[in-house]
Chain A
Amino acid sequence: MSMNPLIGDAVAGGASVAHGAGYEAPSSTPATAETQPKEPTMAPTTEAPFITNPDPNLPVDAEQRNSGILDPAAVARLSEQFLADRAAVTAMNAVTSQDIDALAVNHLRARDLDPTVSHRIDSHAAADQKRSGRCWIFAGLNSLRGEVSRATGITNFEFSQAYVHFWDKLEKANYFLNSMATLADRPLSDRAVQYLLANPIDDGGQWNMFVALVEKYGLVPKYAMPETASSSATRLMNRDLYSVLRAGAVAVRAAARGEDLGAAVAAGGETGAAGLSAEDAAALASDDRAARVRVVHEAVMKDIYRVLTTHLGVPPVEFDWHYRGKAKDDDADEAGTAGATAGSGSSAAASELTAATASFSPARTAAGSDDDAAFGAQASQDPSAGFVREGRMTPQEFAQRYAPNLGDYVCLVNDPRPTSTYGQRYTVEFLGNVVGARPVTYLNVPMDVMKRLAAQQLVAGRPVWFGCDTEQQAHRECGLWAADLFDYEGLYGVDLSMSKADRLISGESLMTHAMVFTGIDIDGAGASADTADTAQMGQTPADTVEAASDEDGSATAAAADALPEVDLSAIRAWRVENSWGCERADKGFWTMADDWFDEYVFEIAVPASALPEEYQACLEGEVHTLPAWDPMGALA
């Protein structure tokens, strides 16, 4: 087979084109396992003297090593070797016809990751963010909903995600325009400017951004601002918001740079005939850049508000708060009955019940409506049973009542890159939503510190918001993560290992998704079936752990706010509330092997008071600013 170029200028600018003189063309006969020798018969006859690893199998021609041009003959030789390797050919036959994830899954690992955990605090159905990037809002609200259910007795309570989403979009638009004004002196091609323009107001967010919204705008129950077509599928809304914001960026920059603003200025001279007030028209015509920016900024925000309300509706300023809770008397009965039933069943189920702080049965979590499924029998006897009318409320009052302590939480990250330091606080330039709110900051901590804090919160009965790279080693159908859940290396026969730090540096991994830990499985810590039978209502999971882990029984009662000790080496798995609906995984709840946490969890939010003393001190430290495009600025 001739490898001489058939087409004249095959590789413009390259040296000798197709292949080096030192190689013969590979055999044109397709290789078979039988005829193909282990070592190829063709070997380079000339080598550049500096080549220390003259492996003839490598796809770079010796003569071309300096030019770096790929040698087709060498590629063909690799193909021959490949076809002589039966494992490789088998892999090829399988992977060419099926998705690799179906073939590479580590069956034994998946089998061993069952979803039952020793400590479980969720008792509701998983929510569904649908085709939107609002995971961080869902996760934030999911970390609060269990508390509302406990306080009210509502099964499956949900806050309105669309309400928070609306204000996030509006605030982010405002924040973006501020950033554009701040960066007006840089060219549009500047890296930070382009980074922001590429995704002016992404759906994604961060814990601090969630807190900023709740503190300013409060919360409402789902019925007060339900989902719309666009809240669940944000693509077209974002397309149009981005069009407005990029036009807005051009306009704000022109205003801030003192450039011509176009027709409105001339027309505005006539006492606001142009739809502008006389004051605004005068500001536009002036040399006062701040005043010009203010007028343009407002014009952009008017359009943003129109687009947003068209897609999401108008958020309520107050609403009627009423609900049908569970009659208090039924609580004990129901939980007791459920506990007894479970106790007579599997011990695994029993231990879950013991661990749950929730005062109602997990068996009811799948109930669709709080009115129907849970209360059918009761309601038919007393039509008003369990109904509570709280009356008119503002969203701020609602948040004050049901989510009073968000400001106490701090965000911890695990950023093992050599350029980052543990104990150091970080922020990311131009990352935020509410102008004037506390900036997004992270405290970088080692993995064992992060994990211990998360575990302690869970054992104490509090859910934990976290951010991770969810796509890695993830089995969507079964709702599992484990560091080695898919054996790609075995299937490819290729080393794919990489450290967490290197994955961050090279863009292989970053935070892509936020969820909530709602349980943890600690080896030896779970209650036995006996314990379940004698469990008292009101006993906290922390007590259970103390009792179970303290074999000689000398444990004294812990102080009310003291955090339980957790043996990190005994953690088997973490239970995760996702926001992808409840049709897959364990009714929408996923199970994370502990080794996956190490590799792919980047961030958690916990109360500042929970931090070890040395890290509490770090919270006062100086904040180091990372550039806008740093992977730590990735929005969950």
Chain B
Amino acid sequence: MDGMTHNALPPIALSEDLLTRIRRDADNDSAHTLALNAVTSTSVDTVAVNRRAIVALDPTVALKTDSLPVTDQKQSGRCWMFATLNVFRHEVARTLGVESFEFSQAYLQFFDKMEKANYFLRAVAALYSGQWTAVDGPDVTATASGADVSAGGSTEAGSVAPTSETQERLIDLLYQFGVGDGGQWNFCINLINKYGAVPKYAMPETQSSSNTRHMDRALHRVLRSAALRLKDLYSAGQQTEATISADAVIAAALRDVHRVLSIHLGTPPTEFDWHYRTKDKEFHRVGRMTPREFAAQYLPSDLHNYVDLVHDPRPETPTGRRYTTQAQNNCWGTQAFTFLNVPLATLKEATLNRLHAGKPVYFACDVNRQFRSDLGVWDRHLLELNDVYGVESIITDPPREAETVALSESGRLSAMSKADRMRTAESRLTHAMVFTGVDEVDGSVRAWRVENSWGTKAHKEHSEIANGGFGTMSDTWFDDNVFHVVVHRDDLPKDLLPLVDQEPTLLPLWDPMV
């Protein structure tokens, strides 16, 4: 077998003998025939659904902080931006006494793309010129130990010395991500800090803000073309001359990016008229405002006091430590995304503290696991896939945080621990949403109320999503699939406070937590 010479193990072909044995396993099982008949003609998620889990996740909750209809990010990857703004908009609406309120997502989207374009070009130039660590090296003093997470090779204090292999992998990833829609809480905070915010009417959605694919196609062509020019400059010329030319290349590319962005999203306002009508039909005219003035008035002044907590059970990334990464950012010159790893119980405690204080909580998860988007329900056992297939390898029950078990007592393949799901790319950060409520019974959580940003219609079908687009999540699903929550410092258990300001450990850009 070509390319398979790394290891002395003999290759295993799918022989007649092997095929006979795997066939016998299924053919001797009458339940398998039944499942086959059902699933060949309808969706497995219809066949596998667990009615009891749905009934148990009735959406009414004791504690509810939201008061507005859901938002809709449409065909874009702006969940993180919607989620961050959704954390704050309910309070704005209450303060103003208005029936509905949204910040303009398109306004921040414009600057997010512009900043990402600059970041991409700066990062690529730094990597090609050999100045990557000097220019962008985040404020770190240590790298994670262990071959599995190291960014590569030994490091000097305060910098990372990547091997050419990891450097190439990083460059390829940057080319691949480009100025894609994705992001995190801190991206949105960077943008608000620098550009402020505007109400939705001051920069409304456009065809492309809601459908970013064709806009990104043009942006990526401009940026990748410029990046290749930078590569040529630095591989050919002298460093100083190359830097001069590189500046010109970057500046010209950014002008093109601005043009493409403006054509797709419109140009962002530098100021706007701010007025609103309250629920009591009372009209208020505040007058001309800049976006930064608007943000200063309606968003918290201590956005820097929010802390990103994660539950990462991998032994190679111990809890009680802060982590960061290179190149997971939008605004060049700001610190990359950092987060503090804590035990699951601590993560939940902080989330509950925040909700009890009446504040919604941003979180990031792997959204499509054990989920029916039409029902708006997440539960570890929503889809009994193990039962449908007659396997044990899909749902981990009882759950395991980190222990690897290859085969179960019955000799069947075992499902993975949360740590192994992360390591194998089975679990990924695919979506950010907001906890806006919780229902606790006898000291344990029955249901988490979730504000999504997928509107009120089920995808492609035109049926309504249950509960107006607000989802309901069981506590077991939280255990399995929630990775990040963002809370305020005040919500942290006291013993965590000293950890929040420690120097972060560097994770590579391809780490599953990133």
Contacts and interface: CB of A to CB of B under 8 A. Distances in A.
Interface of A: 1-2, 5-15, 17-18, 26, 28, 50-53, 55, 57-60, 65, 67-70, 72, 75-76, 78-79, 82-83, 88, 91-92, 95-101, 170-171, 174, 177-179, 181-185, 187-189, 191, 194, 197-198, 228-230, 236-237, 239-240, 242-244, 246-251, 254-256, 259-265, 267-268, 272, 274-276, 280-281, 284, 289-290, 293-294, 296-307, 309-314, 427-432, 434-436, 439, 488, 491-498, 502, 505-508, 623, 625, 629
B13 A229 contact: no
B496 interface: no
Interface string B387-430: 01111011000000000111111111111100011011110000
Interface of B: 1-4, 6-7, 9-14, 18, 21-23, 25-26, 32, 35-36, 39-45, 111, 114-115, 118, 122, 135, 139, 147-149, 165, 169, 172, 175-176, 190, 192-196, 206-208, 211, 214-215, 218, 220-222, 224-225, 227-228, 240, 243-244, 247-248, 250-252, 254-256, 258-260, 262-268, 270-271, 290, 292-293, 295-296, 301, 303-304, 331-335, 368, 385, 388-391, 393-394, 404-416, 420-421, 423-426, 508, 510-511
A297 B12 contact: yes
Contacts of B25: 302, 305-306
Contact of B408 (A70, A197, A264, A506): A264
B32 A264 contact: no
A491 B256 CA distance: 12
Q: Which of A248, A299, A427, A507 has the most CB of B within 10 A?
A: A299
A491 B18 CA distance: 59
B358 to A, nearest CB: 24
Given A92-B262, A498-B225, A306 B409 contact: no
B11 A436 contact: yes
Given A51-B247, A78-B258, A256-B9, A13 B335 contact: yes
B264 to A, nearest CB: 6
7 contacts: A51-B247, A72-B194, A248-B393, A256-B7, A302-B25, A310-B36, A502-B224
Contact of B267 (A53, A82, A249): A82
Contacts of B169: 191
B256 A182 contact: no
B258 A59 contact: yes
B250 A261 contact: no
Given A7-B295, A52-B244, A508-B220, A302 B510 contact: no
Contacts of A506: 175, 224-225, 227-228
A102 to B, nearest CB: 10
B26 A306 contact: yes
Q: Which of B45, B196, B267, B423 has the most CB of A within 10 A?
A: B267
B391 A264 contact: no
B333 A13 contact: yes
Given A197-B424, A228-B40, A290 B9 contact: yes
Contacts, number: 413
A491 B217 CA distance: 14
Nearest to B214: A100
Given A53-B248, A506-B175, A496 B222 contact: yes
A188 B148 contact: yes
Given A12-B334, A506-B224, A301 B262 contact: no
Contact of A310 (B135, B207, B227, B389): B389
A262 B393 CA distance: 14
A52 B406 contact: no
B260 A254 contact: no
A275 B211 contact: no
A88 B407 contact: no
Given A13-B334, A51-B247, A310-B39, A251 B206 contact: no
